[in-house]
């Protein structure tokens, strides 16, 4: 060994001078290239994962904040027109909402032959139905529990609607 660059007994012609630093540069460069590729792949994967998440806006954040709070405690009510007079269910809806009831449905009843307004307890707490009936100005309260409706009270407006408090100023 002339220059100490080989571990076997061959003569060095000088071509091995600096070969250690070339090997270090070669392997170091290869390792650096692999690191760059791995970092790029991980970065792309994280970017895709961020894109999969839906964009959040102020309304979404507000809804989530409300979901954390207490559920709406207002009694849920449906108002059905049982006499066929146009617009009376919408007027009752407005009146009941002003009294802090959550009117979740306004529609026609299955028939228009109701002589008297009827307040029906659907949720099992008859006090809510009686309170609503008193606020409307009727005593006609019955109980027909229907949990699948997901509401506490159904109001069916009858032909006597003019005697109710929301309609006191309506001419016949």
Digitized pLDDT (tens) for each residue of the chain, 172 residues in all: 444 554 444 445 555 555 667 776 777 777 878 888 888 888 887 776 655 555 555 556 656 655 565 566 899 999 999 999 999 999 999 999 999 999 999 999 999 999 999 999 999 999 999 999 999 999 999 999 999 989 999 999 999 999 999 987 554 4
Same domain? For 17 and 100 the reply is: no
Same domain? For 49 and 100 the reply is: no
The CB-side HSE value for 87 (13 A sphere, CA atoms) comes to: 4
From the list 144, 139, 145, 131, the residue with the least C-alpha distance to 164 is: 139
Same domain? For 80 and 47 the reply is: no
pTM above 0.85, yes or no: no
**Total structural domains within the chain:** 2
| Residue 62 placed within a domain | no
Same domain? For 105 and 27 the reply is: no
| Residue 69 placed within a domain | no
Phi-psi region of 160 (alpha: psi -120 to 50; beta: other; left: phi over 0): alpha
Q: Whole domain around residue 92: which residue ranges?
A: 76-167
Same domain? For 86 and 148 the reply is: yes
What is the separation of C-alpha 51 from the centre of its chain, rounded to a whole number of angstroms? Answer: 20
β-sheet bridge partners, residue 18: none
């Amino acid at each position: 060994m002339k220059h100490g660059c080989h571990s076997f007994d061959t003569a060095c012609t000088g071509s091995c001078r600096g070969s250690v630093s070339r090997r270090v540069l070669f392997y170091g460069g290869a390792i650096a290239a692999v690191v760059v590729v791995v970092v790029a792949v991980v970065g792309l994967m994280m970017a895709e994962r961020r894109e999969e998440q839906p964009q959040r806006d102020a309304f979404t954040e507000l809804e989530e904040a409300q979901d954390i709070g207490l559920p709406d405690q207002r009694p849920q009510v449906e108002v059905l027109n049982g006499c066929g007079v146009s617009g009376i269910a919408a007027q009752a809806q407005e009146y009941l909402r002003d009294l802090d009831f959550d009117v979740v449905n306004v529609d026609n009843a299955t028939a228009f032959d109701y002589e008297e307004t009827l307040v029906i307890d659907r949720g099992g707490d008859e006090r809510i139905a009686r309170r609503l009936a008193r606020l409307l100005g009727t005593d006609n309260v019955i109980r027909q529990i229907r949990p699948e409706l997901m509401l506490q009270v159904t109001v069916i407006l009858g032909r006597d609607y003019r005697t109710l408090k929301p309609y006191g100023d309506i001419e016949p």
